[in-house]
Structure 1
């Protein structure tokens, strides 16, 4: 899959800008604040219908405008595909494929597979469990629409169950039948989610370990572990055991929305004991493994976006990443950097066609 051209109108700091892209490597260079990352975010927007960095749609509209339009022309499976994402202040965002609007955003997820590696990914290490769940869910959802629908249904029912628990407390009442209906629905959905997450991690871990070994030169060992309350106890039983606590706390304290991913290097948590270089290598390996997994599951080579990834890495790790990206396994690449000379030196080593855009 190739993104041939990209057009931006009133998107973030851009009034109007178009790019004719190279089929292999595209470099966006310039000082901080000129909009390099915004170009990558626009491409992400075309794949997922939302920004990677700011989910509030109105805040992605240029300050001087009332709307934005992102227009992408792709080549996929020998077919031309045109995708447009547009938003107007006070109105619902619109996503069109070949002139036809989607009724549900979930129908579009996975059509344009994409992996982004960004400094913002550090949240996977330093933030709470919800960030790591989103990572797992994002990988699975790009190739499994049924999983995405289960996830959306689970989130909706969880919200309803929490509202019911608050209602019980506020009105000093209790209705076990209504709560039981929510428990039953969440048990069915949560069990399917747990099973798919478990299967995904078992397939994903060896891919990740192979990628990390290649980046680090085999100097360190890494571990991923899926942590879930459902590993030892069925969800319906968890609901029964947590009933009094849920009523007291007025929210649902058990379920797959509490799952987490343990990230370790040499047996120690990356967050506490990993150096900046090790943390960055860990994240890059996670994302490259995500690329491998999605490519295998979808049968389509995802776009790979690299946002300022060469910062804080020693020359040896940069060289390892260059060698990985030079593999025929990869398709189209878009990257940003603040140093145009460094960028050109790097892409020349990859021995692929490229374009450099100075912003």
Structure 2
């Protein structure tokens, strides 16, 4: 997957930009707060129909304006593709592929595979279990359409059961209807997550070892109520307790991953550099997995990834992302030191852009 051109109007602090990209590496250079991350977020929007920062759509419209438009022109397996996202205040979001609007935004997920690493990823380690479930779901949903559909059905059934609990409903037949639907969909979701993590975890360990020069070991451990057996008996056994709580306490919506450094939780003992290493290894493993599963290479977005890392870890990351394994890369930084090292390693096409208060200009580039 190659993003050849990006057009932006009124997205966050970017009034207007029309940029052409290298199929290899593209660097955005500028001070903090100038709009580098906003450029990556615009690209992310075109893959996932929403912001990486999870802002409501209206908050991504430039201050004082009534709309934003982001358009991307891609090359995908020899075909030219155009993606369009347009949002007006107080109106429905329009998302189109080749000028045809999607009936459901979920139908688009996976068409333009993408992996993004950003400072906010720290919530994967420090935040609640919801953050880690979202990470798993995002990866699987990009290559397995059925998974996303099943997850949506499970969540709808969960909402209905929770509504019954809040109403203190005593009609067992109503609980049975939704619990049976939760049970069937939960088994499928759990199996998909388990298969994914069995393949994913060894790749993650390998990337962590490479970045850390094998100075420490890291691991992921999947935790799920369904590891104890089918969900339906658990729901029935906990129905009285859930009525007291007012919510469903068992199910795949409570799944989690223990993020470990050696024998201890990363969030408890990991340094800033170790946590950053862990997160980058997760994202590179995510890229590797999607590349193996899909029919096109994902786009890789790296936002300010070198901060908090020592020189040796930076060196290992530069070597990794400079390899032929990775396709088109977009990377931001506040200085050129590491960007120039990556460009030197790759030795192929590149573009370097400056970003200053939302204005984007090309500084230099190398073409074939």
Give your verdict on TM over 0.5.
Answer: yes
> Which of 268, 276, 284 is equivalent to 1:288?
284
- In the other structure, the counterpart of 2:240 is 244
- In the other structure, the counterpart of 1:211 is 207
Deviation at 1:266, TM superposition (A): 1.1
Question: Does structure 2 retain, via aligned residues, the 8 Å contact 1:323–1:350?
Answer: no
SS of the residue corresponding to residue 307 of structure 2 reads coil
- In the other structure, the counterpart of 2:181 is 185
- In the other structure, the counterpart of 2:73 is 73
Does residue 83 (structure 1) correspond to residue 83 (structure 2)? The answer is yes
Question: Does structure 2 retain, via aligned residues, the 8 Å contact 1:326–1:351?
Answer: no
When normalised by structure 2's length, the TM-score is: 0.95
Does residue 2 (structure 1) correspond to residue 2 (structure 2)? The answer is yes
Matches within 5 A, 1:143-222: 143-168=143-168, 173-222=169-218
Does residue 106 (structure 1) correspond to residue 145 (structure 2)? The answer is no
SS of the residue corresponding to residue 299 of structure 1 reads coil
SS of the residue corresponding to residue 357 of structure 1 reads strand
- In the other structure, the counterpart of 1:13 is 13
Give aligned pairs, total: 355
SS of the residue corresponding to residue 264 of structure 1 reads strand
SS of the residue corresponding to residue 133 of structure 2 reads helix
CA distance in 1, matches of 2:55, 2:141: 18
- In the other structure, the counterpart of 1:320 is 316
CA distance in 1, matches of 2:341, 2:170: 68
Q: Which runs of 5+ in 1 are unaligned?
A: none
Question: What is the aligned-residue RMSD (CA, Å)?
Answer: 1.0
Deviation at 1:218, TM superposition (A): 1.2
Deviation at 1:191, TM superposition (A): 0.9
Deviation at 1:64, TM superposition (A): 1.4
Provide, for residues 119-139 of structure 1, a one-character-per-residue CA deviation record: whole Å limited to 9, x for no partner: 111000000000000000001
SS of the residue corresponding to residue 164 of structure 1 reads helix
CA distance in 2, matches of 1:180, 1:74: 48
CA distance in 2, matches of 1:317, 1:353: 25
Provide, for residues 253-305 of structure 1, a one-character-per-residue CA deviation record: whole Å limited to 9, x for no partner: 11000000011011111001111111111110011000011111112110000
Deviation at 1:220, TM superposition (A): 1.1
SS of the residue corresponding to residue 15 of structure 1 reads strand
- In the other structure, the counterpart of 1:27 is 27
Question: Does structure 1 retain, via aligned residues, the 8 Å contact 2:318–2:341?
Answer: no
Question: Does structure 2 retain, via aligned residues, the 8 Å contact 1:6–1:18?
Answer: yes
- In the other structure, the counterpart of 2:346 is 350
- In the other structure, the counterpart of 2:297 is 301
